[in-house]
Amino acid sequence: MPLRLPDKLPAIDLLKQENIFVMDDSRAHMQDIRPLKIVILNLMPLKITTETDLIRLLSNTPLQLEVSFMKLRSHTPKNTPIEHMMMFYRDFEQMRNEKYDGMIITGAPVETLDFEEVNYWDEMRDIFSWARTHVTSTLYICWAAQAGLYYHYGVPKYPLQKKMFGIFPQVTLEPQLPIFRGFDDVFQMPHSRHTELHREDILANPQLTLIAESPDCGVSMVMARNGREFFITGHLEYAPDTLDKEYKRDKDIRDDVDLPKNYYRDNNPANGPLVTWRAHANLLYNNWINYYVYQETPYDISKIE
C-alpha cells in the first residue's frame, strides 16, 4: 500500500525518483481504506531532509499510512522556509483533540542545554503527556529519546567529553521482541550526539527495559509500556550522506572535528560512506508499524486510551 502524504510535499517527488509508491491526499481520498494515522513532530533543523528520511522508511510496509506533521507554537525554525511550515505543518494546539495510531518525535539541536533551559520545554512536556492518551505507540529519537526518558521516568542525560559521531555496532539484548524480528545479533546504527544515557539508570527503573546497547556508544534502545514507547538514541533514519554533510559542515567551522567512525570507506572521506545500517533501519520501522501500531491500535481510532 502507498503512503498518503499532504499534497505537494517535496518528499513526494524525491521518493518517486526512488520508485517508492506515494500518493497525495487528493488521490488517497478515492480509496475506501482506514489508513493508519502517523504524526511526526519534526524538531530537526533541516525539516525537508528529515521528512524524506522518515517517509522513506515508513514506505517499507504493505499497510496504508496517512502521515501528518506537527510543529511547536513556541518555536520558529530558522532553516526551513516559513511557507513550507505553513503549508504542511500544524501547531500542536490544532491537533490536540485528534488521536493517532503512531507518533515519531525527532531529535533536536539543543542537547547540550538542560531540558528546562530549552525554550520550548513546556510545550514538549504537554506533548509527551498528550501522547500517552492519544497515540498507540510513540517512537522517540535522539534528543527526544533523552527528553522523553527524563520527563516520563526521571532518567538524566550526561555530557560526553567527545562527540559520539559515526556508525556503531549494537547488540540486541531482547532478541525475542517483535521489534527485532528478522534482526541479526549485531546491527549498525548512526549516532551524532554530545550527551549519553547510563545503563545503570535504565536498569534501576523497573518500568524500563534496555533492549539494545553498544560496547562503543552505550545505551541505544529502551522500551517502555510493552512497546507503547520506544527510545532510540541514534539515527537509523539517516540517509547515506547525512554524516558526511555534517562532518564537512563542522570541519569548515572548527578545527577539532573528528572523522565519523566506521563510516567512510578505508576511513577516507574521498571514498564516500559505506552504508551498513539501511537494511536494519527498514526492518525496525516495518516491525514497529506492524507489531506495535497496526496490531495494537483499535480500528475505531477514538478508542485509543
Q: Which residues are identified as catalytic?
A: 142, 235, 237
Find out whether 57 and 282 touch, Cβ atoms under 8 Å: yes
Find out whether 191 and 165 touch, Cβ atoms under 8 Å: yes
C-alpha cell at 49: 531532509
C-alpha cell at 123: 510545550
Cβ count within 10 A of residue 98: 15
Q: Report the DSSP beta bridge partners of residue 209.
A: 223
3-state helix, strand, coil in the chain (%, to 5): 35, 25, 35
Residues 6+ apart with CB under 8 A from 109: 44, 45, 143
Residue pointed to by grid coordinates 506533548: 127
Q: Report the DSSP beta bridge partners of residue 91.
A: 71
